[in-house]
């Protein structure tokens, strides 16, 4: 069971779709857990905090502005309430499996160490994950009894540490010439995110709806610093928890760190405590992804479990009765995600080869299997518009525009990022010379993201072509102000005459 957990953690960092790996891994762990004679007895405080967090997630998801998106996650991170709950279940199973059993904890840490080498070799952008893995490898070195294995664990720690530094040097804010660590876009992003959080302090907005809701709170100053950025998270895991689940979510995330540090103090497992501290530090500038969240929770689970004594064998008929239902549910979701992901990948490949008759059938299969919430309709619409712009055959061009328009309509109805969906529809309407729908779509795009310069600029061009010069100048001036000089082609007021 420990080996299976290690394999799941490693695969999460390396392959996609990650949700399938997590769901299938948790289902396999449940099956093995049900076959053991002892009942699950993970550390009590850790268990209680996970249960409370699951309740908080359920409440925030139920009250979310977009329940399906909050439940199943977006197309980017895909870390909705379902994935978060499974990650907590996975960590709880590890805590139970390793309670008072250093040999099993060592097996899990070996898997993390092997995965860290592979992640570093393939240059996966996972600085926080690698930094935690470096300290976890040092914890493994302290637990190994053979000198060669200790040496390998320390070498792995060095590789992971160097890789995390290299990735951080490319991605963290202090490397950008126009930003500083605690200033620049991050400071403004956190400030605006806090103003968003205070609107729903008790329950939050639900997971994964930040992309749609934050533009209403984005300040003009932040929009002017990065006019092309549309943020999908506050780039801070603790602030993300506050926005997603309200104050209870933030308190529970902080509370989950307590069992880990307390157990590390009790057992003097300094390297596990260092791994947890490294995770907390890295998460000040990133939000949770599936691999990072699982590794973070696993670190807490291992640290808390090593402070426990082995539980005496005891049958658990209730647990054994529940496991089949959970396994079926997990495998059902894993199957749907896997089939939908394969259909979407096939759609992309067929588009690349311009096998257009087969594209729609494959995308229909994707639509049948995908879970509610986020969809690829926006990408699909843009892909067909690209075909329409480049097609020499008028019949193909007409068909491509029709399909693109249909996908655009679906995209605005189930928008993960409403501003992008409406802007895309406006572009298609403009291509079809449908000025009325283009203007209406731009109005909706502006309503969804008031401080985004592009809809204002496109609206100014549309009005200029219609001869509405004064209105065009007003929109052009606003677009130029929001762009703040980043794009010379965005004309100031005096250019449009």
* pLDDT for residue 485: 87
Q: Which two tokens stand for residue 258?
A: 């307590």
pLDDT digits (tens, 9 = 90+) for 462-497: 988 888 888 888 899 999 999 988 888 786 544 544
Tell me the pTM: 0.90
Check whether 305 has a pLDDT greater than 80. yes
* pLDDT for residue 391: 86
Q: How confident is the model at residue 133 (pLDDT cuts 50, 70, 90)?
A: very high
220, 228 Cβ separation under 8 angstroms:
no
What's the rounded Cα separation, in Å, for the pair 453 and 457? 6
DSSP H/E element including 10: helix 2-14
Check whether 8 has a pLDDT greater than 80. yes
Q: Which two tokens stand for residue 461?
A: 């061009």
* pLDDT for residue 492: 59
pLDDT digits (tens, 9 = 90+) for 161-204: 998 888 877 765 544 444 444 455 688 999 999 999 999 999 99
pLDDT digits (tens, 9 = 90+) for 223-251: 999 899 899 999 999 999 999 999 999 99
What's the rounded Cα separation, in Å, for the pair 160 and 431? 50
* pLDDT for residue 123: 59
pLDDT digits (tens, 9 = 90+) for 89-114: 999 999 888 888 888 889 899 989 98
Check whether 340 has a pLDDT greater than 90. yes
Mean pLDDT score across all residues of the chain? 88
What's the rounded Cα separation, in Å, for the pair 315 and 35? 10
pLDDT digits (tens, 9 = 90+) for 27-46: 999 988 877 655 556 688 89
Query: HEC states along 137-181?
Result: HHHHHHHCCCHHHHHHHHHHHHHHHHHHHHHHHHHCHHHCCCCCC
* pLDDT for residue 37: 57
pLDDT over 90, % of the chain: 59
What's the rounded Cα separation, in Å, for the pair 230 and 219? 12
How many other CB atoms are found less than 10 A from the CB of residue 203? 19
Write down the residue that tokens 């260092």 correspond to.
Answer: 274
For the chain, domain boundaries? 2-326
């Amino acid at each position: 069971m420990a080996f299976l957990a290690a394999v799941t953690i490693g695969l999460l960092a390396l392959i996609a779709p990650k949700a399938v790996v997590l769901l299938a891994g948790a289902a396999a762990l449940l099956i093995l857990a049900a076959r053991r004679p002892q009942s699950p007895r993970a550390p009590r405080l850790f268990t209680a905090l996970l249960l409370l967090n699951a309740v908080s997630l359920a409440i925030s998801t139920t009250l979310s502005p977009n329940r399906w998106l909050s439940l199943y996650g977006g197309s980017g991170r895909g870390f909705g309430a379902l994935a978060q709950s499974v990650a907590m279940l996975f960590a709880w199973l590890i805590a139970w499996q390793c309670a008072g059993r250093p040999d099993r904890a060592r097996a899990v840490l070996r898997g993390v160490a092997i995965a860290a080498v592979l992640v570093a070799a393939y240059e996966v952008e996972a600085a926080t994950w690698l930094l935690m893995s470096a300290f976890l490898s040092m914890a493994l070195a302290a637990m190994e009894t053979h000198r060669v294995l200790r040496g390998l664990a320390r070498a792995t720690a060095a590789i992971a540490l160097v890789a995390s530094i290299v990735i951080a040097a490319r991605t963290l804010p202090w490397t950008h010439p126009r930003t500083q660590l605690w200033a620049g876009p991050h400071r403004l992003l956190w400030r605006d995110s806090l103003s968003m959080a205070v609107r729903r302090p008790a329950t939050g907005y639900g997971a994964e709806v930040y992309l749609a809701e934050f533009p209403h709170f984005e300040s003009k100053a932040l929009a002017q610093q990065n006019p092309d950025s549309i943020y999908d998270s506050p780039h801070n895991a603790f602030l993300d928890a506050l926005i997603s689940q309200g104050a209870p979510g933030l308190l529970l995330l902080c509370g989950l760190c307590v069992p880990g540090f307390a157990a590390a103090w009790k057992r003097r497992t300094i390297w596990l405590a260092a791994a947890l501290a490294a995770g907390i530090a890295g998460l000040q500038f990133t939000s949770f992804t599936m691999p990072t969240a699982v590794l973070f929770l696993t670190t807490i689970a291992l640290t808390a479990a090593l402070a426990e004594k082995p539980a005496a064998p005891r049958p658990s008929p209730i647990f054994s009765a529940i496991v089949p239902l959970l396994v079926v549910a997990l495998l059902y979701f894993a199957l749907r995600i896997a089939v939908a992901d394969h259909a979407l990948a096939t759609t992309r490949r067929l588009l690349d080869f311009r096998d257009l008759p087969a594209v729609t059938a494959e995308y229909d299969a994707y639509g049948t299997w995908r879970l509610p919430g986020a969809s690829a309709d926006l990408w699909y619409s843009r892909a067909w518009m690209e075909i329409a712009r480049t097609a020499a055959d008028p019949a193909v061009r007409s068909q491509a525009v029709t399909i693109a328009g249909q996908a655009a309509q679906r995209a605005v109805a189930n928008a993960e990022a409403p501003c992008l969906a409406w802007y895309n529809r406006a572009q298609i309407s403009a291509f079809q010379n449908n000025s009325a729908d283009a203007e209406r779509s731009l109005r909706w795009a502006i309503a969804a993201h008031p401080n985004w310069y592009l809809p204002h600029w496109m609206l100014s061009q549309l009005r200029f072509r219609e001869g509405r010069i004064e209105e065009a100048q007003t929109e052009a001036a606003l677009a130029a102000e929001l762009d703040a000089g980043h794009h010379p082609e965005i004309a100031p007021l005096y250019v449009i005459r």
